[in-house]
Amino acid sequence: MKVYFILGGIITILFIIVLVLMKLLFSKKHQIVKKSTHHINIEKIKDIAQLATIECFVQSVVDLRDEKRRMRIFGTAKKKSLLVARGRVHVGFDLTKCRISEDREKPRILLPAPQILSCDVEEQITYDERASIWNPITSEDRDALHKEAREELRKSAATDDVFFRARKNVRAVLGVFFESQGLSPIVEFSDQKTIVEKEIKKLPEEKHVENIREDRLKI
């Protein structure tokens, strides 16, 4: 009886060891399956100098409708899709086109017109998508919808009110910066400027500034 008891104990211990080894092996395989590799390649680096003064949260709705006439017995093959896109648009200025006079007391800053700096699509939802085997919705259709939705987002932000606020904000930002240096800047914009660029080159000389002011008074 003792022999059988000892053999039973040995078999039980061996069974437990086998279970533990199997668990370890399967857990290692499971971990290996979960592992993934990431390859990040920087394809291009571009130097920019942009100042965003407005962030707009916008939505656009794009509708696709198309009909193809088949044989009379089949009638028309229709397809349609409704895409709702939401995103954020940054409006501001390209500072590489900025011009600053050398007047130390009242520097004149000529900025370009405000523009759309970036458009990030954060959400795209498709509603009521229908098609047929004769007129299917292709990947080209979806790409065109997404492209049109992005353009609509940009257009939604490109309003006079948004551009007005962008000008107002950049005046405030530049005013705080220059006033901290003891200066009182005059901020103008290329699409609303009251002086031309060739006059800016003459601004360092005080007499030229006075001449420009006199010419404007005459006009």
Question: What residues does each domain of the chain span?
Answer: 50-218
Which long-range contacts does 182-187 make (Cβ < 8 Å, 24+ apart)? 183/104, 183/105, 183/106, 183/107, 184/105, 184/106, 185/106, 185/107, 185/108, 185/109, 186/106, 186/107, 186/108, 186/109, 187/109, 187/111
Q: Percent of the chain beyond pLDDT 90?
A: 31
Residue 215 pLDDT > 50, yes or no? Answer: no
Residue 100: pLDDT over 60:
yes
Specify the amino acid at residue 18.
V
> Is the pLDDT assigned to residue 163 strictly greater than 90?
yes
The least confident of 67-76, 107-116, 157-166 is 67-76
pLDDT of residue 193: 53
Q: How far apart are the C-alpha atoms of 65 and 52, rounded to whole Å? A: 37
What is the C-alpha separation between 141 and 132, in angstroms, rounded?
14
E runs forming strands in 31-158: 50-69, 76-94, 99-100, 108-111, 115-130
Confidence of residue 57 (pLDDT cuts 50, 70, 90): very high
Q: The dihedral of CA 120, 123, 125, 131: what is its sign?
A: positive
Q: How high is the pLDDT of residue 195?
A: 43
Residue 30: CB atoms within 10 A of its CB come to 9
Read off the pTM.
Answer: 0.62
